[in-house]
Amino acid sequence: MTTTAKPKREVTLPAGVSLRRVAQVLLDAWEADPRRWMNTPAQLREGTSPTTMPVPQDALDLFRLLAERRVDYLLVGGMAMLTYVKGRNTKDMALLLSLEASREMPELEIRERQDFFARAQFRSLQVDLLFPFNALFKTVAEKFATVHSFAELNVPAATVEGLIVLKLYALPSLYRQFEMDRAALYENDITMLLANHSPAVEPLLALATREMEPGDQAELKKIISECTERAKLLRQRSGQ
């Protein structure tokens, strides 16, 4: 008995698309955001609106410079999500790299820094940086890296598993800060990654929560269980 392989799902940043599409995604989100005139203090995570209109050529130049200088980094955040799922609106350009690696890119001007995060500017692009001083970020960089092929060059990016770990890690802080809209977005991201790719969740949950308080661990266990059930329902309804 033979089976026919299901076609790959369409994604917003499919393999082979131009890197200019990265900035177009940011531009689409920028134009659609009625709050872009409000420059509130940066939270150094996805969600703060850039005040400069993104220029597509700048995205191409950023990744070309990273490649030419052999900077060790990973694409993470909302843009990395779009290499796995489609239709996910994002204002987020985020890179996981060391502070030393960031110094190889003086054009990437760090404007603000807080703990393991920084907000930087590359020409018209706002870029959030995650530093592997954080042990979990270091683990993601070392164990959950892949390569996404764009038309112009290959870009190191977080795997499905790496993105789930990072989003689980962020959720307790989002809830404590009453950032319910972003928490809901992250939970939906996790659900869609589970629905589309079916990774084993227990080791990811264990990794994300290993340094957390018992209360946060218990809450994230509930959240991942709910996301898993929603993902299962989505697969059933789509006939998978």
Residue 84 has pLDDT above 70, yes or no: yes
Helix (H) or strand (E) holding 189: helix 180-197
By DSSP bridging, strand 94-97 and strand 125-130 are parallel
Which pair of tokens denotes residue 58? 């700048």
Q: Is pLDDT above 60 for 46?
A: no
Query: Distance (Å, rounded) from C-alpha 240 to C-alpha 236?
Result: 6
pLDDT at 5 over 80: no
Contact in structure between 170 and 92 (CB atoms under 8 Å): no
Please give the C-alpha separations between residue 124 and each of 4, 109, 118, in angstroms, as whole numbers: 45, 11, 17
Per-residue pLDDT for 163 more than 80?
yes
Task: Provide the token pair at 93.
Answer: 């350009």
Percent of the chain residues topping a pLDDT of 70: 87
Which pTM does this prediction carry?
A: 0.88
Q: What is the DSSP letter of 55?
A: -
**Domains within the chain, CATH numbers bracketed:** 20-158 (3.30.460), 162-237 (no CATH)
Q: Is the pLDDT of residue 6 over 60?
A: no
